[in-house]
Structure 1
Amino acid sequence: MLKIQITGTGFHAPEKIETAGELAPRLGVSEEWASGVGVAQRRIAEQTMPQMAAIAAREALGNGPPPDLLINASLTPVQLIPDSSVFILDELGYDDIPGYSIHATCLSFLVALNNAASLIHSGAYKRILIVSSEIGSVSRDFGQPESAMLIGDGAAAAVVEPAMEGSDSAWLGFAMQTWPEGAFFTEIRGAGTRRHPNGPLACRSDNLFQMEGAKVFRLSLQKIPPMFSEFLNRQGIGVDDIDLFIPHQASGHGMKTYERLGFPAAKIVNIINEYGNCIAASLPMALDRALKAQRIKRGDLVMFFGMGAGMSTATALMRW
């Protein structure tokens, strides 16, 4: 048990809205098919990744002091070098605050939150800012309607600090598993050494998001239920003990599977229909929306869950 708490969150959704009906002709599908994916609309960025990050970060920080560490928990970088945290720090006007990135695809925020909790607990830092800012729309493959219909742009941030004296707030547990058999089910092949832009095998589609949705879904149905059971048993609790369940917003079909695990719809934070899959920003965006809607109060037992390319899954439990 790590005595930490989230003291502030921030949210940014770009103003430009792209509906399923507007996107359907570009994908060569019917509006009915597009609506059936479970994403009625998504936001399309007209600002840079650091600008979006800074908007969410400033809201999370509020009137408090600057952080003593910034963790960029995003998949979509500004460029490969330098690290994108540098550009976010520059946008925020910070000169001497350390920053780095945690890249765990869609799990980046949850992994960063676990990392921050450990750093706070160790005493290494006292006020950590985690930012997820994603512009996934530029990497959509319009020849692959299933995945292109899911992706949206957005940003969110959270500030992590030691729990206040007398507070029950704590990071109670974290578990992550990776199954490399799913490594090629979800990928962007370009930019690395395998399909370097200057290499003989490189092509345009290497820089676009590719997903074999049916294979991802089958593997997740196989792996997730036992992972959930093991995690809850280790914590000594059941699904009924969870006050709110905040998952990564992967897809409309994916969100429905959580009810099969025993979570009633009223306890699941579901924003996929309005914002789409905003990659690593999806989970903190959902967290912020739940807080703004007053669905979380101090003392609540909150469970987080996410899936990432690889394929990896992670779950965490927090006493708010």
Structure 2
Amino acid sequence: MKMRSLGHNGPQVSAIGLGCMRMSNITGGPQPGPDRNRESVAVIEAALEAGITLLNTGDFYGMGHNETLVAKAIRGRRDQAFLSVKCGIRRTHTGAILSMDGRPDSIKNYAAYSLQRLGVDYIDLYQPARADPSVPFEETIGAVADLIREGKVRYLGVSEINADQLRRAHATHPVSALEIEYSLASRFIEREMLPLARELGVGVVAYGVVTQGLLAGAMQGGVVDEALATSFARFRGETLRRNLEKASFLERLARSKHRTPAQLAIAWVLSRGDDIVPLVGMSRRSRLPENLGALDVAFNEDELAALDQAFAPGAIVGTRS
């Protein structure tokens, strides 16, 4: 497995991370049944055996359900896993988001429950899922810094924040990683956030690299999950049609390289710099070889230029939320 550093002199993690979110029901209702839970645990175990170390979860993914799956998979192999945990989002029993709670006492309380559910003594990378507008960000970050001093957390991460918040967080305690959406379809971080992360020596953990399947060829014919279309404007009506036309370029290039669109989408994110680690979500072990194959994809200069033109910032239309 190829390895990358999270930030300047930061921890070494696998070049591809495993996003565990979709192993749980994040929109409310019952969690997956025993068969799917067993397969999810097997996916994590297979990923670890293949050399993937970075496991990304959150305490609000299935209201703790996701962490229990991770706990089962890492039992007896804790040293193989680099655990990245997001915290702070409060939800109702139906899965609706209530608010972000970044109060210091709350952050420490969330960490205590995550440590218990995960069955570990420390969390490798701990990060507020968003900035709480009602709490000075320095106070939220200070709570994680306290956990680091206490040995309950090893590194500080932040997620989906703006440039000012990243500077303020880093001034409070060194930030190792910024988790944020980044893909051929969502390149907004290139304007300000990516240059700033590099200026500060902060690694980037990129999620949404296949854009909910748009860049993986999963929406051919315009067939989109109803919940997905409800949540994301880019997957509805005429907007979806336009985006599928753009995505078809990636499919044609993939065929010419005897690869899959998903492999090219992941490989493009990998090509953006050694300080970027893409997260890839999987719910079946059968997808692991394809996703790992992205590590062997190489682009020539003409291909990169063509991708840059076809997926110029703003080419994929519709808001991402």
Bigger fraction of residues in helix = 2
With a CA cutoff of 8 Å and minimum separation of 6, indicate the structure with the bigger relative contact order: 1
Q: Which structure shows the higher strand fraction?
A: 1
> Could you tell me the TM-score, scaled by structure 2's length?
0.29
* TM value normalised by structure 1: 0.30
